[in-house]
Structure 1
Amino acid sequence: MINKANVYDCSIVELPVNHREKGNLTVIENVKDVPFEVQRVYYLYDIPGGESRGGHAHKELRQLIVAASGSFDVILNDGKIKRIFTLNRPYQGLLVFPGIWRELDNFSSGSVCLVLASQVYDEMDYLRDYDLFLKWKFE
């Protein structure tokens, strides 16, 4: 079941880097470089110092989270175990499965968080209350 995913199912994905004389290029292709079909792309930026983002889980949505610029922490919680990933390389993404509570924290100045998502926005897919998340997770 989807809600049975745990934090150890989530992992860093190495993205291809094409080295060029005038800088590097990373291309992310559907299904090839990310293990799902991307339906939505969004990015977070200009996050004020000390602010956190996230604070929710998804019932079905999968994500690949990339620090396109700067760095930030992603705190994953499956209701029993927490893991913290520091993202700071634009050629690495964190694969996050459904049924995992996520928080983003410790944004560096000028950081950009790029997110590739497996579904279009659907408010019904969100679990925004931690206690309700736990109830859903372990029912």
Structure 2
Amino acid sequence: MSLIKTIQFNKFGDERGSLVSLESFENIPFDIKRVYYLYGMSSHLPRGFHAHKELVQVAVCVKGSCSILMDDGKSKDSIKLDDPSLGLLIDAMQWHEMSGFSEDCVLMVLASENYNEADYIRNYKDYLCLME
């Protein structure tokens, strides 16, 4: 089973531009409780390095590109996000690392819960122990 689970969003548009709509329980498989975005990242400084106990997320690179490494404690796989009509589903208990940000990268994340520091697993060794 692949660690990479994507959601292809319907894209509507014409010569005037494109539109993608994101809706809870329609094309996003959860109730969206929080939206945040990252921008101005350095191409050589990766981010992430954590998993969530319960939180589920969908990451969409709305501009530029980046790579995301997904890890379930047994195997790893990565994906390059460079299409604003494609979302990466990040399930609970999936370690993820983001890197290779283009200069113009804007990475938007839709989250199933509000921010809760207690939900984070930030130590990889602790994560591996939980996945055994």
Q: Same fold (TM over 0.5)?
A: yes
- Which 5+ residue runs of structure 1 have no aligned equivalent? 1-6
Pick from 109, 113, 129 the counterpart of residue 123 of structure 2.
Answer: 129
Deviation at 1:12, TM superposition (A): 1.0
- The CA distance in 2 between the partners of 1:80 and 1:9, in whole Å, is 10
* Structure-2 residue corresponding to 1:63: 57
CA displacement at 1:9 relative to structure 2: 5.2
Displacement of 1:21: 2.6
The correspondence of residues 33-48 of structure 1 with structure 2, limited to 5 A, is: 33-48=27-42
With the length of structure 2 as denominator, give the TM-score of the two structures. 0.96
Match of 1:106 in 2: 100
Aligned residue identity for 1:72:
C
Aligned with 1:14 (options 8, 13, 19):
8
Alignment partner, residue 91 of structure 1: 85
Q: In the TM superposition, what is the alpha-carbon distance from 1:137 to its structure 2 partner?
A: 1.7
| Matched residue, 2:45 | 51
Question: What count of residue pairs does the alignment treat as equivalent?
Answer: 132
**Contiguous gaps of at least 5 residues in structure 2:** none
- Does the CA-based 8 Å contact 1:75-1:103 persist in structure 2? yes
Q: CA deviation at 1:8?
A: 2.4
Identity of aligned residues (%): 37
Contact between 1:65 and 1:115, CA under 8 Å: does it hold in 2? yes
Q: Residue type matched to 2:125 in 1?
A: D
Query: What is the CA–CA distance in structure 2 between the aligned matches of 1:53 and 1:113, rounded to whole Å?
Result: 12
15-24 vs 36-45, which deviates more? 15-24
State TM-score, norm by structure 1: 0.91
Residues 25-74 of structure 1, C-alpha deviations (whole Å, 9 max, x = no match): 11101110111111000000000120111000000000000010000000
Q: Displaced runs of 4+ in structure 1, greater than 3 A?
A: none
Equivalent-residue separation in structure 1 for 2:110 and 2:72 (angstroms): 21
* AA matched with 1:50: H
